Chains A and B, each alone.
Chain A
């Protein structure tokens, strides 16, 4: 994984990717909040055509899984980036 100083463009791009992944990590809770507040818009109870419970369960837990998946994926990506960066720093 040793990257010499001869590949600064690659390093630059990698740290750029890293920044954007951090941005995504920060925005993830906002996404979660928006998605989980969608049920507020659903017709409920006595209103016309209420959403079925099974669909609601699929939706809420589906959002949960997506958020967890994204969060874990971003964490792994950032973790790997960190290791690579520290390795690159160690062996010029």
Chain B
């Protein structure tokens, strides 16, 4: 049968070459920006099929042959997760996109405050959990190959060196992964070649399995009816399922579907459009159903047809082969081969991203002096680290395969691996649904769950007495009975897998919750927590992939806003020219983006520029780190500008004060001029009359006696006017300078008014009738009686002089108010116009139309006096006549009582 083997190897090589070609074409198309057809919901759904590895391709039939329908739980869990996409997947995908998550380790680390410790722990757990799984794939492929190499003898390696076959398979897988997995530096940039290759492989394995199934049902059994009859008649004919395993494995597979690094890679990291998840939510369950549909028939027919002792894990290949259907067997082999290769490639890719990002790079950067100062340097290092990690992981898988020597049934290894990665679930779900989840809780839960898994599931899988001494299983470690690996807390009789899953997840979750409740998160952790849990509040609507030209346009619009139209256009044109393009818009490649970001950061600050550019290009929203940096920067800018603002406020206040002072000075100067002009006028006017008439008296001849008397009396009046003016001026000047001394005395308001009336009546012409209302006038008070009297005299004199009524009258009344005494002088003359009212208390102000001998100082003096006495004087407009109100503080009055 060596000819068949050679044929098989040839076909495999052609198939691999075909995959290379497909991947290469896809990469080329993506580079040229024509990746639309690469990123369809169908491709997304098919890429999820890496869940169905060689373990499920070959192993499911073996599993069914051993345990009946239990195998189907492995498909039920993922189906439920997909159908319930709205609950978890939707959120995971949104977070993955908005936070630019590159792996499950990155997700957990980012959620808990970008903790590198957590990332390392998760990475180590993932490597430990997944390596056996990779070994499993190598084992499946070589086992399947061995079937073709002839009937397996007792040693099981006739005609084919299993180890060297395993080696060549591993080497081929490593080459493919390195070639197509590390072309792009950014893990978030999708691996178009890889995705399209695994989509093709998904089709191949589905077609292969269905072909075998159809052959078995219609070709061998003779239709559905006879097939069902045969099933019922076989050993598997009745429902024989361990109830706890049925439930536990459904939950476990659902958990693993979310937590497996390779599933996370295709579900979240390679996701291009959130809407694809919705389509996959029903399309992928269809795929899973089809993959499991013919498992039981193949198992039943295999058990029936093949000799007892045949490996049921290989029925998919051996049944067609035994029926002489070599072509179908080869197709089936290719299906298994596809399952194995796609799983290994994606799993390795995911793990290598984690290992290089969270283990190799931190170590490299801490060891290398200068850190990440040279960007080009670091990029090469990352690529090298990633390639190295791929080789390392596949080497580990190969090593495990060689050491374990193909031990154990495929399904058992698969389940152990599932249980290992399922430990991520509490930290992951807690992280995206519970803001209170903390790093401490996540770390302790992960570590405890992992430890339990290693102790109760991984180590015992090597066999009792292999790693753990047999005594552990009988009496417990060091005789501690409740720590027996299959019977924690003394609860015996549980299925070992269920036992490990139950206890590890229960304790993991409990410690995670308690640890979170007891610890306090750091600020970054709390911010990230809020970002993750409320991801739908923060990030925008689901968006598809932006074509690169559109991104350039967006960038152009943004740059124009910040740099100005001319500068932005010049920058973009120069960049386009450098790229050898004729248009105005350059390709938004990393070099250009870096340059643009630098240009922008000059205007808006580094963090803001980064956030803006990445938002435009990656369609990713701003991460918390970006936001924090933006906040920092804007806080600094705010502080700076508020300092500037304070300074400028101070300056403008000073300037304002100066302006005010200047205005005041100008005003004072104007006032001074006006005052001098007034004084001059008031002095010169009477002097003009005096001089003119004295010269007339002196020079003119023939003046009558009456004329002489008249002129002399004019001189006399004007001289008195001058004297009074000088008196008033002196008075006012003394009072304004505050030099006046008040002679406080106690007396009666009545007496002051009486005195004022007597004084004014002596000098007046007697026309003015004065009416006094003596209501509350009989009030004793302590004040400067003479000054108060002066005010009253002034008011009465004004009334005498300016009241132009037919029968001039002045009413004087006193009103007692709660805090003041008001003396009112009400005349029946022409009311002072509104415009003049504001001025009557100013020096030299006179109501314009009124002629008179006053210099206009009287009311100014009154106001000054009242201010000194602690009261005031005001003019209240009346319908007819004028009302002057003199207010005295009541205290002055009370003090005297």
Asked if A36 meets B238 with Cβ closer than 8 Å, knowing A57-B296, A71-B285, the reply is no
Contact A52/B79 with A68-B286, A71-B285, A75-B279 known, Cβ cut-off 8 Å:
no
Given the known interface contacts A51-B238, A60-B72, A71-B281, the answer about A37 and B247 at a Cβ–Cβ threshold of 8 Å is yes
Given contacts A28-B83, A32-B80, A51-B238, contact A64 B285 (CB under 8 A): yes
Say yes or no: A53-B281 contact (C-beta < 8 A), given A26-B86, A33-B80. Answer: no
State A66–B570 Cα separation when bound (angstroms): 60
Which stretch from A1-9, A11-19, A40-48 is at the chain B interface?
A: A40-48
Give the CA-CA distance A75 to B279 in the complex, in Å. 7
**In the complex, chain B residues whose CB is within 8 Å of the CB of A55:** 239
B24 in contact (CB, < 8 A): no
Say how far A42's CB is from chain B's closest CB, in angstroms: 5
B-side contacts of A72, CB under 8 Å: 282
Contact B72–A52 (Cβ < 8 Å): no
- Number of chain A residues close to chain B: CB under 8 A: 34
Within the assembled complex, what's the spacing in Å between the Cα atoms of A80 and B241?
42
The verdict on A25 contacting B69 (CB below 8 Å), with A32-B79, A33-B80 known, is: no
Given the known interface contacts A53-B232, A68-B282, the answer about A29 and B240 at a Cβ–Cβ threshold of 8 Å is: no
Residues 249-287 of B at the A interface (beta carbon under 8 Å)? 250, 278-279, 281-282, 285-286
B20 an interface residue at 8 Å Cβ cutoff?
A: no
**Chain A CB within 8 A of B84 CB:** yes
A40 and B79 in contact, given A29-B87, A57-B231, A61-B293 (Cβ under 8 angstroms): no
Q: Are A44 and B238 in contact (CB under 8 A)?
A: yes
Given A26-B86, A44-B238, A54-B228, decide whether A65 and B289 contact each other with a Cβ distance below 8 A. Answer: yes
Cβ-based interface call for A89 (8 A): no
- Check: A92 CB closer than 8 A to any chain B CB: no
Q: Is B544 an interface residue (CB 8 A)?
A: no
**Which of A28, A30, A53 touches B237 (beta carbons < 8 Å)?**
A53
User: Who on chain A is nearest to B297 by CB?
Assistant: A57
Q: List CB contacts (< 8 Å) of B812-856 with chain A.
A: none
Within 8 A of B (CB), among A47-92: 50-57, 60-61, 64-65, 67-68, 71-72, 75, 79
With both chains docked as a complex, state the minimum distance between the C-beta of B594 and any C-beta of chain A, in angstroms. Answer: 37
Q: Is the CB of B237 within 8 A of A45?
A: no
- Chain B residues whose C-beta falls within 8 Å of the C-beta of A65 in the assembled complex: 289
Q: Is the CB of A44 within 8 A of B241?
A: yes
- Cα–Cα distance between A15 and B76 once the two chains are bound (Å): 32
Structural contact, B80 and A54, CB atoms closer than 8 A: no
- Max chain B Cβ within 10 angstroms of own Cβ: one of A28, A42, A43, A68: A68
Q: Roughly how many angstroms separate A43 CA and B281 CA in the complex, as a whole number?
A: 32
- Whether B228 and A50, one on each chain, are in contact in the complex, defined by CB atoms closer than 8 angstroms, is no
- Contact in complex: B236, A53 (CB < 8 Å): yes
Q: What count of chain B residues pass the 8 Å CB interface test? A: 35
Contacts of A43 in B (CB 8 A): 239
Closest to A73 in B: B282
Contacts of B374 in A (CB 8 A): none
When C-beta atoms are compared, the residue in chain B nearest to A76 turns out to be: B282
Using an 8 Å CB-CB cutoff, how does the interface string of B233-247 with A read, 1 for contact, 0 for none? 010111111010011
B285 with A53: CB separation less than 8 A:
no
Known A39-B239, A53-B69, A56-B69: A71·B232 in contact at CB below 8 Å: no
B83 A52 Cβ-Cβ under 8 A: no
Contact string against A for B residues 208-235, beta-carbon threshold 8 Å, 1 for contact and 0 otherwise: 0000000000000000000011011010
Partner of B289, one of A28, A30, A40, A64: A64
Identity of the chain B residue whose Cβ is nearest the Cβ of A55 in the assembled complex? B239
| B83 in contact with A44 (CB, 8 Å) | no
Closest A residue to B69 by beta carbon equals A56
A interface, CB within 8 angstroms of B: 22, 25-26, 28-30, 32-33, 36-37, 39-40, 42-45, 50-57, 60-61, 64-65, 67-68, 71-72, 75, 79
Using A50-B238, A52-B232 as known contacts, list a sample of 5 further A-B pairs with CB atoms less than 8 Å apart, ordered by residue number in A.
A37-B246, A45-B238, A55-B239, A67-B285, A71-B281
User: Can you report 24 A-B residue pairs in the complex whose CB atoms are below 8 A from each other?
Assistant: A25-B86, A28-B83, A29-B80, A29-B83, A29-B84, A29-B87, A32-B79, A33-B80, A36-B76, A37-B246, A39-B69, A39-B239, A39-B246, A40-B243, A40-B246, A43-B239, A53-B296, A60-B76, A64-B285, A67-B83, A68-B282, A71-B285, A75-B279, A75-B282
The 8 closest A-B pairs by CB, nearest first: A29-B84, A71-B282, A51-B239, A50-B238, A54-B228, A72-B282, A45-B240, A40-B243
> Which B residues lie at the A interface, using CB under 8 A?
68-69, 72, 76, 79-81, 83-84, 86-87, 228-229, 231-232, 234, 236-241, 243, 246-247, 250, 278-279, 281-282, 285-286, 289, 293, 296
